[in-house]
Amino acid sequence: MLNILDGYNIAISRPPAFTGATGNTRGDKDGTMAAITLFEVFGLVKAIVFGKCTVTGVGAGTIEVGVAGNTALFLAPCVDATTIAAGDFYVDASVAEMGGFATLPAGAITDRDIIETTSAVDVTAGQIYYVCLWKPITDDGLVVARYPNAD
């Protein structure tokens, strides 16, 4: 059986909580943080991303994780943030209380940051942190968490 961690490095990003009712904060769909960088990517890497909810979402906003130009590359849009409850894993649009890791898509990306995008409606409360499993493909391949210590 293949272990999902075989050969992968781990980066964890813990952005500040969603407070989209306040302008230009995480979750404000029209603000400067409607898209936030979770991980900075250098060189060419293979990456797998999933989220872990620690505080249930509030607000019917859509959340997705990808890169500029393909904002759902890693995690399909969760149509309503309220469907992500504390303890859930964000592994696809349907969210999972446990498991679901076998279906996580891997993407090969180069020098493009991995971002979380909020749209449709503000997400006014809640917390999701993200885990990126990654392997360098080129010698300079590296993934760095933008928010390694927040939460």
Is the residue at 2 inside a domain? no
The predicted structure's pLDDT at residue 34: 93
Is the residue at 126 inside a domain? yes
Is the residue at 1 inside a domain? no
Is the residue at 150 inside a domain? no
Is the residue at 29 inside a domain? yes
The contacts of residue 96 (CB under 8 Å, 6+ apart) are 88, 89
The predicted structure's pLDDT at residue 41: 97
Is the residue at 4 inside a domain? no
Proportion of the chain above pLDDT 70, given as a percent = 90
Compute the average pLDDT of residues 88-104. 74
Domain count, the chain: 1
Is the residue at 137 inside a domain? yes
CB of 90 within 8 A of CB of 101? no
- The residue segments making up the domain with residue 16 are 12-145
**pLDDT class for 110, splitting at 50, 70, 90?**
confident
Residue 130: pLDDT above 60?
yes
Is the residue at 125 inside a domain? yes
